[in-house]
Structure 1
Amino acid sequence: MWWKIAVVSCLLIGASQITETAENDSKVVCYYDSRAFVREGLGKVTLADIEPGLGQCTHLVIGFASINEQKRVVSLNPLRDLDHGNRLYREATFLRSKFPKLKVLLGIGYDVSGDPEKWLQMLETSTARIAFINSAYDLIKTYAFDGIDLAFEFPKIKVKKQRGSVGSFFYSIKKAVGAAGKPVDAKFEEHREEFTSLIRELKNSFRHDGYLLSFTLNPNVNSSLYLDVPQIINNIDWVNIAAFDVQTPLRNKEEADYAAPLYKPSERNPELNIDFQVTDLLARGVPTSKIVVGIPTFARAWKIEDGATSTGVPPLKADGPTDEGIESKQEGLFSYKEVCGMLTNPQNKDLKGERGPVRKVGDPSKRFTPYGFRLPDKDGKFGLWMAYEDPDSAGNKAAYVRGKNLGGVSIMDLTYDDFRGTCTGDKFPILKSAKYRLM
């Protein structure tokens, strides 16, 4: 019998090692938007501010660079980022001296240019692609980055009116026969081939130095138009799904709705949720280990007036974005810390007007996210509706990632998490919850 016990012991040890390896292989990709460095007041977030959270991260992406008219990769703020200024790039890669296992990447793209046409033009000639590749290589070599995260600016799908199931069925037929409107990119087939060439050429230029190349799929981009998965996947270290902002008050001013649902809410576009995107990429041949799911740390918020209900159940009529947050400095966007302060609490429960409490509606189904709302007053003012992520919903998404054996999660980004611990005294609650549920 001793040999049976030994075999069982070996199997248990092996299983333990496999589990530990799987946990260690799970990525926690943390983003730092360097625009936070120049925000004023409480909105200013430095690398020193996020440093206490970096022990939870496997990778840090410093964002975001873009391309100029010559199609070269450039810093959007040289005085902030480069050596002749505040040396943010240099300080970011120096963080590896404190966190030796941390990989630091340069983020390129992610909706900072607002001009997808410029990016598509870069694809269309080998000269422009070479300029992009050489300038990207020069930046990561000069500042000792471990690679790049490329959030290529493909055109986004058009905003569509929410339809019931019957309307959705007939719309899908119209779409199939080409009667539902012009495509966002008439040359998408050419651009798909050119993007494949760009990825291959980028990876070839990085291979000698062992630089990483990840690709971020931006929100509201139809990846089936542009990603030839069999041709590119071996040249990409992982695909990061920016799985949020499917609805925003800037994208759709008239309708407030979930911004980052895990599954499809009733009678919505079936493609605008995390589960669809993950399932689609898996079906097209992306390995489970190469799919990373993005988790936001912020709320998207709309003004609401007439038509709001006492439950706040979305979608509901809206009137554009709320005023900018004190910390976020962006219309229709609040950091998680700001959200915490707005939800009903002993300090605000008796306040009125724009400082009145926002009622939280949780997500017991674990399919969407929580939301909060404040009904308009008798004059139709101060109404607000927001979709947001909290530690529980972030943990649910990490549990989904673990259940499907995906490659990990990304936290987008650290500057909007509660890095000061203002809400409950716990710093980086969204990051920590996601990391814990991933284990």
Structure 2
Amino acid sequence: MKLFAFVSVAVVLLAIGQTDALGGSPHVLCYYDGGSYIREGLSKLTLNDLEPALQFCTHLIYGYAGINPTSHKLVSNNEKLELDLGSSLLRQVTSLKKKKPDLKVLLSVGGDKDVVDPENNKYLTLLESSNARIPFINSAHSLVKTYGFDGLDLGWQFPKNKPKKVHGGIGKFWKGFKKIFTGDHIVDEKSEEHKEEFVALVRELKNAFRPDGYLLGLSVLPNVNSSLFFDVPALINNLDYVNLHAYDFQTPERNNEVADFPAPINELNERNPESNVNFQVNYWINNHAPTSKINVGIPTYGRAWKITKDSGLTGLPPVAEADGVAPAGLQTQIPGFLSWPEVCAKLPNPANQHLKGADGPLRKVGDPTKRFGSYAYRSADDSGENGVWVGYEDPDTAALKAAFVKTRGLGGVAIVDLSFDDFRGACTGGEKYPILRAIKYKL
């Protein structure tokens, strides 16, 4: 009888370990882009700068690896980085577990960081050949094992949806008339085949990882249509988690004429009903994904447009007559992109309150509805210059998304990424990683 009781307890404990592969709920999966290690200036994030974040992270996802288009093997995208360090950054990242033994560290492949020929997408050609999948899986297993990772994150670079524009009555009529002759834009003519082949890849990867207990996760990248490429019921049992990167629905690169919220929680009036966190989460739940495996991706940055005199004075989105990407921030140097500390420095503060022109402060507009996000703007001046509109994530909006995750009973949050949070504490009197902290405390 005692033996039976002991075996029963062991079976229950084993089952708990298998169903709760991420080590308890809620989880905070933190992305660390190794490319930030070799940036110049204040946006350079070293491992010493990274360490204070680890107290809040249950998982660290290091990226990004890529795919060799000839051999189909998983390779580092940061060869220059590895050489410059003189020793492998991969080993240094996984060695962080010595300081936080319960931290799980995964390697991410793709993540929109790998260079892909749109006419010959190596991520799709790999799926189409079972012979090509074998070297990919073997190399992935080898990299994970050799460098001491706990698993692999698949940020598979499927083709993106085209941005959908909001049409008025006449616009809708013309669009419908035009479709008779042109048809809808086809993202991928072989999407059904690729969907089945991706299921095969995930199944084969999980089978290779299972003897060593390695984790396997999926990152659904921004603007990748889940219904086209992911057979959720067939995938989900072979995945330990799914990170829904539900942001960047609107960016100046995707639509340079209209500035709008890049990452709303809920559907916006007269917008694409799919372009919000709630829709993306519901799609996976409605297709039988357990809520405990779903994590909501939260960015740590904003998207910025130039606006003109014709854009109006209120800043209320959607802002028409935008003029493409806004100038790059001083730290990240990416046009149309501002990290949270770069946004924070542009909001009204004692250092900029008397400045004018391109250095003048932006006007911040919060979100009393707690549904869409914050934005800030500076109207164009009399000469039509210096107009900027930015929709962004800050500690308050990130906390609202964490509250959404908690209310819906989801697995947790994926923060993308640590290098764009205020890891130096410039805007918070020295308190580092304010967005990450806000997420963790709300969960």
**TM-score normalised to structure 2 length:** 0.90
Q: Which runs of 5+ in 1 are unaligned?
A: 1-20
| Aligned position for 1:305 | 308
What letter corresponds to residue 319 of structure 1 in structure 2? D
Q: Is the 8 A contact 1:391 1:433 kept in 2?
A: yes
Separation (CA, whole Å) in 1 of partners of 2:23 and 2:334 = 36
| Aligned position for 2:387 | 383
1:53 CA drift (Å): 1.1
| Aligned position for 1:30 | 30
1:112 CA drift (Å): 1.5
Separation (CA, whole Å) in 1 of partners of 2:84 and 2:401 = 38
Separation (CA, whole Å) in 1 of partners of 2:169 and 2:370 = 23
1:180 CA drift (Å): 4.1
Q: Does 2:226 align with 1:223? A: yes
1:308 CA drift (Å): 2.1
Alignment of 1:378-417 (within 5 A): 378-417=382-421
1:282 CA drift (Å): 0.3
| Aligned position for 1:293 | 296
- What whole-Å deviation, never above 9, does each CA across 1:87-133 have from its counterpart, x for those lacking one? 21111100000011100000111111352622101100011111211
| Aligned position for 1:125 | 129
Separation (CA, whole Å) in 2 of partners of 1:100 and 1:35 = 25
1:134 CA drift (Å): 1.1
DSSP 3-state at the match of 1:25: coil
Alpha-carbon spacing, 1:85–1:23, altered in 2? closer, same or farther (3 Å): closer
Alpha-carbon spacing, 1:267–1:142, altered in 2? closer, same or farther (3 Å): same
1:83 CA drift (Å): 10
Identity within the alignment, %? 53
Q: Is the 8 A contact 1:80 1:86 kept in 2?
A: no
Determine which of 154, 157, 179 is the counterpart of 2:158: 154
Separation (CA, whole Å) in 1 of partners of 2:172 and 2:57 = 41
Alpha-carbon spacing, 1:270–1:172, altered in 2? closer, same or farther (3 Å): farther
| Aligned position for 2:58 | 58
Q: Which runs of 5+ in 2 are unaligned?
A: 1-19
Q: Is the 8 A contact 1:79 1:85 kept in 2?
A: no
Q: Does 2:96 align with 1:95? A: yes
Separation (CA, whole Å) in 1 of partners of 2:99 and 2:172 = 53
1:182 CA drift (Å): 3.3
- What whole-Å deviation, never above 9, does each CA across 1:265-294 have from its counterpart, x for those lacking one? 111000010000001110011100010000
DSSP 3-state at the match of 2:298: strand
Alignment of 1:128-139 (within 5 A): 128-139=132-143
Alpha-carbon spacing, 1:89–1:23, altered in 2? closer, same or farther (3 Å): closer
What letter corresponds to residue 162 of structure 1 in structure 2? V
1:174 CA drift (Å): 9.2
1:82 CA drift (Å): 7.1
- What whole-Å deviation, never above 9, does each CA across 1:170-196 have from its counterpart, x for those lacking one? 979998x99642311000111111001
CA RMSD of aligned residues (A): 2.2
1:419 CA drift (Å): 0.8
- What whole-Å deviation, never above 9, does each CA across 1:12-45 have from its counterpart, x for those lacking one? xxxxxxxxx9994211000111111111111211
Separation (CA, whole Å) in 1 of partners of 2:36 and 2:175 = 41
- What whole-Å deviation, never above 9, does each CA across 1:146-181 have from its counterpart, x for those lacking one? 001111001001122222589669979998x99642
1:81 CA drift (Å): 3.6
Deviates further, 80-89 or 276-285: 80-89
| Aligned position for 1:323 | 327
| Aligned position for 1:432 | 437
Alpha-carbon spacing, 1:137–1:41, altered in 2? closer, same or farther (3 Å): same
Determine which of 331, 341, 350 is the counterpart of 2:345: 341
Alignment of 1:218-257 (within 5 A): 218-257=221-260
Alpha-carbon spacing, 1:86–1:261, altered in 2? closer, same or farther (3 Å): farther
Q: Is the 8 A contact 2:34 2:78 kept in 1?
A: no
What letter corresponds to residue 379 of structure 1 in structure 2? S
Alignment of 1:104-115 (within 5 A): 104-115=105-116
Separation (CA, whole Å) in 2 of partners of 1:122 and 1:402 = 37
Alpha-carbon spacing, 1:204–1:312, altered in 2? closer, same or farther (3 Å): same
Alignment of 1:274-293 (within 5 A): 274-293=277-296
Alpha-carbon spacing, 1:318–1:30, altered in 2? closer, same or farther (3 Å): same
What letter corresponds to residue 335 of structure 2 in structure 1? E
DSSP 3-state at the match of 1:30: strand
Separation (CA, whole Å) in 1 of partners of 2:436 and 2:170 = 40
Separation (CA, whole Å) in 1 of partners of 2:177 and 2:101 = 54
Alpha-carbon spacing, 1:297–1:179, altered in 2? closer, same or farther (3 Å): same
What letter corresponds to residue 436 of structure 1 in structure 2? Y
Separation (CA, whole Å) in 1 of partners of 2:384 and 2:225 = 38
Q: Does 2:356 align with 1:355? A: no
Alpha-carbon spacing, 1:84–1:52, altered in 2? closer, same or farther (3 Å): closer
Deviates further, 116-125 or 352-361: 116-125
Separation (CA, whole Å) in 1 of partners of 2:376 and 2:414 = 24
| Aligned position for 2:10 | none
- What whole-Å deviation, never above 9, does each CA across 1:368-423 have from its counterpart, x for those lacking one? 11001011111111110001001110000000000010000011001110111111
1:79 CA drift (Å): 3.7
Q: When the two structures are aligned, how many residues end up with a matched partner? A: 417
Q: Is the 8 A contact 1:39 1:329 kept in 2?
A: no
What letter corresponds to residue 252 of structure 1 in structure 2? N
Deviates further, 109-118 or 68-77: 109-118
| Aligned position for 1:49 | 49
DSSP 3-state at the match of 2:333: coil
Separation (CA, whole Å) in 2 of partners of 1:341 and 1:163 = 36
Q: Is the 8 A contact 2:65 2:114 kept in 1?
A: no
Q: Is the 8 A contact 1:82 1:88 kept in 2?
A: no
| Aligned position for 2:167 | 163
DSSP 3-state at the match of 1:307: helix
Alpha-carbon spacing, 1:266–1:166, altered in 2? closer, same or farther (3 Å): farther
DSSP 3-state at the match of 1:260: coil
What letter corresponds to residue 201 of structure 2 in structure 1? L
What letter corresponds to residue 313 of structure 1 in structure 2? L
Alpha-carbon spacing, 1:283–1:140, altered in 2? closer, same or farther (3 Å): same
Alpha-carbon spacing, 1:291–1:381, altered in 2? closer, same or farther (3 Å): same
What letter corresponds to residue 347 of structure 2 in structure 1? L
DSSP 3-state at the match of 2:65: strand
